[in-house]
Amino acid sequence: MKRVLIVEDEISIRESLVDLFASDEVAVVAAATLTEAKAALFSQLPIDLIVTDLRLGGNRDGGLQILAAAGLVMQQTPVIVLTAYPDEDNRHASERLNAAYFLEKPVDLSIISKLASDHGVSSALSPPYAPAAVAVD
């Protein structure tokens, strides 16, 4: 089973992302705060993909702190950064902290789904491959 960490303080976006990934094949951990996200990162449970907002509540750099923490404990886990503030400083800081992707909100869920699929994580828009049943005579 794959595991996805969603870090988003806006409840409607967080719920949309949870709905996108939650399935029998993917367990989703949803965090609304930096504290919740760090607890998930340091829980020792493997995480296959992280999707994080850049700004979390009053923390302008909350997403950057998530990237830094992920770099300490989950160096190979791809991170998708979402932001409504796509300035070059944020982009460069995210790149320095090894964000796999830096996307401007609003983001079409199909884009996030495709990026997740590229890393082996299925979603409602890109379900896992299931071979067609073959009829036996």
CB distance 50 to 7 below 8 Å? yes
* Residue 134 within any structural domain of the chain: no
Q: Give the 3-state secondary structure of residue 5.
A: strand
Write the DSSP string, 20-70. Answer: HH-SSSEEEEEESSHHHHHHHHTTS---SEEEEESSBTTBTTHHHHHHHHH
* Residue 69 within any structural domain of the chain: yes
Mean pLDDT of 53-77: 91
Burial (0-12, 13-18, 19+ Cβ within 10 Å), 72: exposed
- CATH number of the domain enclosing 84: 3.40.50.2300
Residues near 83 by beta carbon (within 8 Å), at least 6 away in sequence: 53, 54, 55, 63, 90, 102, 103, 104, 105
Encoded tokens for 133: 């049943």
* Residue 127 within any structural domain of the chain: no
**Weakest-pLDDT range from 29-33, 50-54, 128-132:** 128-132
By residue range, what is the domain housing residue 100? 2-118
Peptide bond into 46 cis (omega under 30): no
* Residue 73 within any structural domain of the chain: yes
Which of residues 133 and 56 earns the better pLDDT score?
Answer: 56
Element (H, E) at 104: strand 101-104
pLDDT-derived band at 19, boundaries 50, 70, 90 = very high
Check pLDDT > 60 for residue 7: yes
How many domains are there within the chain?
1
Residue-wise pLDDT for 95-107, tens only, equals 999 999 999 999 9
